[in-house]
């Protein structure tokens, strides 16, 4: 019998490197960017991974989705995210970032407006910097209001590579198309 706080993980290889995924019964807890080795992918999952059970069979569908994504195919990721380690503000920001479609970008200010806090663009950037659901919550699609890349925890070269993988135009758009936060 599994305890409700049991964590599960898997490590798998994609075209760009090794990915680690950590999950609880409530949903995804963490996803890494591509790493050079399995060990780096595991370590990138953080301390929680040390108590997790290696369970690749639980992640077969998700593994396939990441294989597709890193092969340049448009991919939709699951909605089951475990926000138990997130603040209410982070959860709002991460949910709004998921509204930005594949191949498009939105600004930090756009997200701030979507969550009803139009003056919180800097705080949005800080929340995105703590995003544990990389790619699933596409913080790489969020750019500065002036159209420049802004920041990215994985480095700007990785951000550029991910946007390139999605065939996002090189002249980055300052705002995503108008999307209702209620959808």
**Which residue bears the tokens 């991974």?**
49
User: Which residues in the chain land under pLDDT 70?
Assistant: 1-4, 170-183
pTM above 0.95, yes or no: no
What ranges do the domains of the chain cover?
Answer: 8-69, 88-165
Taking CA atoms, 52 is separated from 7, 17, 45, 66, 149, in Å, by: 4, 22, 10, 21, 35
Residues serving a catalytic function are 139
> What interhelical angle do 121-129 and 88-97 show, nearest 10?
90
In angstroms, the CA 174 to CA 164 distance is 16
Q: Which residues pair with 154 in a beta bridge?
A: none
pLDDT at position 56? 97
Q: Which residues pair with 9 in a beta bridge?
A: 22, 54
Chain centroid offset of residue 24 CA? 17
Q: Which residues pair with 27 in a beta bridge?
A: 24
The residues, ordered by sequence, that sit 6+ positions from 57 with a Cβ below 8 Å of its Cβ are: none
Question: According to DSSP H, which parts of the chain are helical?
Answer: 38-44, 60-69, 88-97, 108-114, 121-129, 156-165
DSSP 8-state symbol, 132: S
Kindly state the tokens that stand for 127.
């929340």
Q: How many other C-beta atoms are found inside a 10 Å radius of the C-beta of residue 48?
A: 15
pLDDT at position 5? 82
By residue count, the chain amounts to: 183
Condensed to tens digits (0 to 9), the pLDDT of residues 79-102 reads 899 999 999 999 999 999 999 999
pLDDT at position 105? 93
Taking CA atoms, 132 is separated from 3, 128, 137, 179, in Å, by: 23, 9, 8, 24
Taking CA atoms, 38 is separated from 1, 14, 49, 71, 111, in Å, by: 29, 11, 13, 19, 34
Q: How many other C-beta atoms are found inside a 10 Å radius of the C-beta of residue 155?
A: 11
CATH number (3.30.70.1400, 3.30.1360.70, 2.40.50.140, 1.10.10.10) of 88-165 reads: 1.10.10.10
């Amino acid at each position: 019998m599994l305890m409700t706080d049991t964590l599960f993980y898997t490590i798998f290889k994609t075209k760009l490197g090794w990915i680690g995924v950590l999950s609880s019964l409530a949903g995804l807890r963490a996803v890494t960017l591509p790493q050079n080795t399995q060990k780096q992918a595991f370590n990138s999952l953080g301390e929680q991974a040390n108590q997790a059970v290696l369970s690749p069979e639980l992640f077969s569908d998700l593994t396939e989705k990441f294989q597709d994504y890193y092969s340049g195919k448009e991919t939709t990721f699951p909605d089951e995210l475990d926000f138990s380690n997130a603040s209410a503000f982070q959860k709002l920001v991460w949910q709004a970032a998921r509204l930005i479609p594949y191949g498009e970008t939105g600004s930090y200010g756009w997200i701030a407006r979507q969550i009803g806090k139009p003056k919180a663009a800097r705080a949005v950037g800080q929340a995105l910097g703590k995003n544990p659901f990389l790619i699933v919550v596409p913080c790489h699609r969020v750019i500065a209001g002036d159209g420049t890349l802004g920041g990215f925890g994985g480095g700007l070269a990785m951000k550029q590579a991910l946007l390139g993988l999605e065939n996002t135009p090189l002249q980055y758009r300052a705002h995503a198309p108008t999307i209702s936060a209620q959808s």
